[in-house]
Amino acid sequence: MIHDNHNSKKPNEERRRHERIKKSFVLSYFDLKSPDHKFEITQLKNISLGGMCFVTTHSFEHGTKLGIELKTPYIAETTYLEGTVLQSHEKMKGTIFETRLQFDPLDTEASVLLEKLMEFFINAKDQIHE
């Protein structure tokens, strides 16, 4: 009998390559095909070194390339990221979607800023005693 190792993981065990942080940072986004048409400011649900999930007001097709301008209270500059949509899941009929995005290769500046942000929150989480 062949066993599928993917099913042997515990239900709450992380299956992604990169650890995620769940923070509600503000961001704006746009389709790279029409960068002059930026979408309203929206909320980030979670982010990792590999990608992010955020709230959008409409669905994006799988494979759509998006530009993201991320602002956090911890980094003075706006961090510019690009990525490819993996999925837009409808959360509220026709008005709210959760869009999952995989980052395209990040430039050095974006990579360093994102790594610092991740490190800050991962270390902060490790400092909390329950």
* Those residues with Cβ within 8 angstroms of residue 117's Cβ, 6 or more apart along the chain or in another chain: 21, 47, 72, 74, 75, 79
Average pLDDT in the 15-43 region? 78
Q: pTM to 2 decimals? A: 0.74
Task: Judge whether 7 lies within some domain.
Answer: no
Mean pLDDT across the chain, nearest whole number?
A: 79
Task: Judge whether 9 lies within some domain.
Answer: no
Look at 54 and 14; give whichever has higher pLDDT: 54
Collapsed DSSP state (helix, strand, coil) of residue 64: coil
pLDDT band at residue 21 under the 50/70/90 scheme: low
For the chain, the C-alpha Rg in angstroms (whole number) is: 16
Residue 5 clears pLDDT 80, i.e. is over it: no
Task: Judge whether 3 lies within some domain.
Answer: no
If one counts the domains in the chain, the total is 1
Residue 15 clears pLDDT 60, i.e. is over it: no
CATH of the domain at 95: 2.40.10.220
Specify the amino acid at residue 22.
K
Task: Judge whether 6 lies within some domain.
Answer: no
Kind and range of the H or E element at 47?
strand 39-47
pLDDT recorded at residue 49 = 87
Task: Judge whether 4 lies within some domain.
Answer: no
Q: Cα–Cα distances in Å, from 93 out to 8, 19, 53, 67?
A: 35, 30, 18, 25
pLDDT digits (tens, 9 = 90+) for 52-108: 999 998 899 999 999 998 887 777 778 889 999 999 999 998 889 999 999 999 888
Residue 125 clears pLDDT 70, i.e. is over it: no
Structural domain of residue 74, as residue ranges?
A: 15-127
